[in-house]
Amino acid sequence: MTTHILRIITSPRGEASVSTKLGNAIVGKIKAKYPDSVVKERNLATHPLPHLDDVTISSFFTPTKNLSAEQSNAISFSDKAINELQEADIIVLDTPMYNFTITSTLKTYLDHIVRRGITFQVTENGIEGLLKDKKVYLAFSASGNYSNGGSEQAFDFVVPLIKAVFGWLGMADITVFRVEGFRDPKVQEAVVLQQEIDRIAIS
């Protein structure tokens, strides 16, 4: 059976990007485990989604048959992004830290994929995510160190945010790989990258 991998790239730095190199390694190991897998790539740096505007938000709450031409066009970005997630078995999300949080392009992407009645619903028992049975790998990079118990740890608004939003949508099985701390002159980026690549195990 074909395994569908959705690869989401957010760094604008192309081949120099640490998070993209880490994501490449994760995808490589997934492909080694599932040789018949196919990869669909969404590059938010080269193809950013539009910020939500009034037309887009109103389109989210309008029945399909009543959408105006303008609303249909506006909602198509969200529909396409959600469709890719629905089709995916495995999601690999590369995300650098920018000013303690995610890139603005990734934030806009999240704004497009969280849709009541489509990717989550409100039930008597609370929130139910509708993107189920998916495995998520997060390829995180930051020049500071946010996982060594140091003073910066409280400022990581990347991993908790992704876990909250993806979890809300039903994608709670998230494994995080992190290349960080290379702002410290004693820490070499290439060394910590390789150490983390060596640690990647695909469940």
Ligand X SMILES: Cc1cc2nc3c(=O)[nH]c(=O)nc-3n(C[C@H](O)[C@H](O)[C@H](O)COP(=O)(O)O)c2cc1C
Residues of this chain that interact with ligand X (CB under 6 A) are: 11, 13, 17-20, 96-100, 141-144
* Block residue for tokens 């008597």: 124
Q: How far is the CB of 28 from ligand X (least distance, A)?
A: 17
Tokens found for residue 169: 């949508």
Q: How many CB atoms lie within 10 A of CB 61?
A: 9
Q: How far is the CB of 144 from ligand X (least distance, A)?
A: 3
Question: Do residues 136 and 91 make contact, with C-beta atoms less than 8 angstroms apart?
Answer: yes
Nearer to ligand X, 13 or 33 (CB): 13
The closest residue (CB) to ligand X is 96
Q: How far is the CB of 203 from ligand X (least distance, A)?
A: 24
Nearer to ligand X, 89 or 189 (CB): 189
Residue 12 CA, distance from chain mean position: 15
Question: Do residues 72 and 37 make contact, with C-beta atoms less than 8 angstroms apart?
Answer: no
Cα(63)–Cα(75) distance, integer angstroms: 11
Q: How far is the CB of 58 from ligand X (least distance, A)?
A: 32
Nearer to ligand X, 23 or 170 (CB): 23
